[in-house]
């Protein structure tokens, strides 16, 4: 798509035409979960109504059709992430599942008491808790890296923290609270020279910017479908081929085995080795449709639109001197977190502006170490997607002004 017409794009998303509390919906909670275009809804409906059967080994027509549709998404995800081989793409229920898989199936067998995992305070809990499991169960040491005053992460601080006992660096590509983008390539280059693996939570970045896992040089990269305008309950994780060969099975069941006997079992090859049980067939087909939709629009158009929206939202929010913004890193993504002077708690703000049809997220955003770093218990977060507009930013500001009048 050469010309980006946001109003035409909005027509692709049926939910955006509805009203909430008598007002047009202004959906600014995309960092939590994005809305779905009609093509995704249609793909899911068709898969259930015309083409559904269980996948793999069915032999009958519908099973073969469903298998082709389901497995065909793997190549789309590989292309979307810049992976060399589709076998490096492991299906999952989302980033949380993928990060836990890395922790349990790759790192756990390799870590000993006293070995270190480097984390940053900007991580989502999904990229914290799996590593805490290894701290609790195997004596791993978690080394924490603070962010800069503007919310950015200095890659050199991460690199300097690498020591002889460091086994893993786990880091987000983009903060789900501030939108700060991390220089993953610089971190991964230094880590590789020191024999340290890098696991990246790409939940936020993958919907806002093109990703090339080979160029980044990472070992693992997790994405989640519901933030990519796809269905909930689907996602994938990139495993560098060398790491994939080192994985032990994560779950046991169908598809991940070749033969099962009373005394011995024979495992399947990746990617199916790590995909036990009946998968989320239809959700993955829907994710494939979402990727097709985004690629049809094109990254140049998406990033240009979101950069304009981010700049305009920042200008309007900074113009409200009774708001406190958290994280103003250069080149940040389309996410703003804020609190309000006075008595208004973020939950109050969210509740009040909801009366104007504005949907934002309020709370700690599954990032409590970052909240502690900022010295707050919660913020409001407005997160934007490819279908949001400058006019919606204006509605947000008007709603916040009402809240300030009521509670400032």
Burial class (CB in 10 A: 0-12, 13-18, 19+), 109: exposed
Give the number of other Cβ atoms within 10 Å of residue 330's Cβ: 9
* Two tokens, residue 193: 């020279």
What's the average model confidence in pLDDT over 230-256? Answer: 96
H/E element holding 306? helix 299-318
The full DSSP string for 35-99 is ---HHHHHHHHHHHHTS----SS--SHHHHHHHHHHHHHHHHHHHHHT-S-GGGEEEESSHHHHH
**Would you say 47 and 281 are in contact if contact means Cβ atoms under 8 Å apart?**
yes
Percent of the chain past pLDDT 70, that is, above it, reads: 99
pTM beyond 0.75, yes or no: yes
Q: What is the pLDDT of residue 2?
A: 53
- Cα separation, 367 vs 365, in Å, equals 5
The full DSSP string for 139-189 is --EEEEEPPPTTS---HHHHHHT--TTEEEEEEESB-TTT-PBP-HHHHHH
Which candidate in 199, 234, 366, 380 is catalytic?
366
- Cα separation, 71 vs 28, in Å, equals 33
What's the average model confidence in pLDDT over 18-39? Answer: 98
Interval 123-167: pLDDT, tens: 999 999 999 999 999 999 999 999 999 999 999 999 999 999 999
Instruction: Tell me the average pLDDT of the chain.
Output: 97
Residues whose CB is less than 8 angstroms from the CB of residue 68 and which lie 6 or more positions away in sequence, other chains included? none
Output the CA torsion 284→288→290→291 (10° steps): 130
Could you tell me the pLDDT band of residue 365, with boundaries at 50, 70 and 90?
very high
Return the half-sphere exposure (C-beta side, CA atoms, 13 A cut-off) of residue 186: 11
Q: Give the three-class secondary structure for 292.
A: helix
**Would you say 230 and 73 are in contact if contact means Cβ atoms under 8 Å apart?**
no
What's the average model confidence in pLDDT over 333-338? Answer: 98
Whether omega before 190 lies within 30 degrees of 0, making that bond cis, reads: no
Residue 276 pLDDT greater than 60, yes or no: yes
Matching residue, tokens 């509740």: 351
Q: What is the pLDDT of residue 407?
A: 86
**Would you say 408 and 341 are in contact if contact means Cβ atoms under 8 Å apart?**
yes
366 as an active site residue: the answer is: yes
Residue 1 pLDDT greater than 50, yes or no: no
Domains and CATH numbers, the chain: 6-30+299-407 (3.90.1150.10), 41-295 (3.40.640.10)
Q: What is the pLDDT of residue 10?
A: 98
Residues whose CB is less than 8 angstroms from the CB of residue 13 and which lie 6 or more positions away in sequence, other chains included? 35, 36, 37, 38, 387
Q: Which residues pair with 27 in a beta bridge?
A: 359
Give the number of other Cβ atoms within 10 Å of residue 126's Cβ: 21
What's the average model confidence in pLDDT over 376-382? Answer: 98
Interval 338-362: pLDDT, tens: 999 998 999 999 999 999 999 999 9
**Phi-psi map region of 264: left, alpha, beta (phi>0 left; psi -120 to 50 alpha):** beta
What's the average model confidence in pLDDT over 289-310? Answer: 98
**Would you say 15 and 359 are in contact if contact means Cβ atoms under 8 Å apart?**
no
Tell me whether strands 358-359 and 26-27 are parallel, antiparallel or unpaired.
Answer: parallel
Residue 216 pLDDT greater than 50, yes or no: yes
């Amino acid at each position: 798509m050469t010309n980006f017409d946001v109003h035409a794009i909005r027509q692709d998303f049926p939910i955006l035409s509805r009203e909430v509390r008598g007002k047009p919906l202004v959906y600014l909670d995309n960092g939590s979960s994005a809305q779905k275009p009609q093509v995704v809804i249609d793909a899911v409906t068709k898969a259930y109504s015309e083409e559904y059967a269980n996948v793999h080994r069915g032999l009958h027509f519908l099973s073969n059709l469903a298998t082709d549709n389901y497995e065909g998404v793997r190549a789309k995800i590989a292309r979307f992430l810049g992976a060399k081989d589709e076998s490096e793409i492991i299906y999952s229920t989302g980033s949380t599942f993928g990060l836990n898989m890395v922790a349990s199936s790759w790192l756990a067998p390799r870590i000993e008491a006293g070995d270190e995992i480097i984390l940053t305070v900007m991580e989502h809990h999904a990229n914290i808790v799996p590593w805490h499991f290894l701290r609790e169960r195997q004596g791993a040491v978690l080394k924490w890296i603070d962010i800069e005053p503007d919310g950015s992460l200095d890659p050199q601080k991460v690199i300097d923290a690498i020591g002889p006992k460091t086994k893993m660096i786990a880091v987000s590509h983009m903060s789900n609270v501030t939108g700060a983008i991390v220089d993953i390539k610089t971190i991964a280059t230094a880590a590789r020279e020191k024999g340290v693996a890098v696991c990246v939570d790409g939940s936020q970045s993958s919907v806002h910017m093109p990703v090339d896992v080979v160029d980044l040089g990472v070992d693992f990269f997790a994405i989640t479908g519901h933030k990519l305008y796809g269905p909930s309950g689907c996602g994938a994780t990139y495993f560098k081929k060398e790491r994939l060969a080192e994985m032990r099975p994560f779950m046991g069941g169908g598809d991940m085995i070749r033969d099962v006997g009373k005394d011995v079992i024979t495992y399947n090859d990746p990617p199916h080795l790590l995909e036990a049980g009946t998968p989320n067939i239809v959700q993955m087909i829907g994710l494939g449709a979402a990727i097709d939709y985004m690629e049809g629009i094109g990254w140049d158009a998406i990033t240009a639109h979101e950069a304009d929206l981010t700049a305009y939202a920042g200008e309007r929010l900074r113009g409200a001197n009774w708001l406190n913004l958290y994280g103003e890193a250069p080149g940040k993504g389309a996410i703003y977190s804020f609190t309000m002077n006075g008595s208004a708690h973020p939950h109050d703000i969210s509740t009040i502006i909801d009366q104007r049809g504005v949907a934002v997220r309020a709370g700690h955003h599954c990032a409590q170490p970052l909240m502690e770093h900022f010295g707050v218990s919660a913020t409001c977060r407005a997160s934007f997607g490819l279908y949001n507009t400058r006019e919606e930013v204006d509605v947000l500001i008007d709603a916040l002004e009402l809240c300030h009048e009521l509670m400032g």
